[in-house]
Amino acid sequence: MNYVAERTGTVDQNLIPANAQHKYEVAPEALPLSCPMPGMYLWNSHPRVYLPIKETGEAICPYCGAEYHLGEPRS
């Protein structure tokens, strides 16, 4: 598989639609936070933007309005 297909997603991958939800919980291990997040299809989304979430524990994407909340570390 080429690099572009890996980053944008193909129909045979199990990715989630970009901007399908408006509230997401993000584990600290998943930082730095970007919207759309890794694991989302990119073909129907906005440009990737990195969001500062560490200071307040919350961030809102300026493009799509998705709300992100910093969750507890996974064990």
**Domain boundaries, given as residue ranges, for the chain:** 3-9+21-70
| pLDDT tier for residue 1 given thresholds of 50, 70 and 90 | very low
**Over 10-62, what HEC string results?**
CCCCCCECCCCCCEEEECHHHCCEEECCCCECCCCCCCCEEECCCCCCEEECC
Q: What pLDDT shows up at residue 34? A: 93
Higher pLDDT, 55 or 22: 55
Distance CA 37, CA 19 (A): 9
| Report field, pTM of the whole predicted structure over 0.85 | no
Question: Which of these, 73, 1, 11, 75, lies nearest to 41 by C-alpha position?
Answer: 11
Are β-strands 58-60 and 49-51 bridged in parallel, bridged antiparallel, or unpaired? unpaired
Position 2 pLDDT exceeds 50? no
Per-residue pLDDT averaged across 39-44, rounded?
73
Q: What pLDDT shows up at residue 21? A: 64
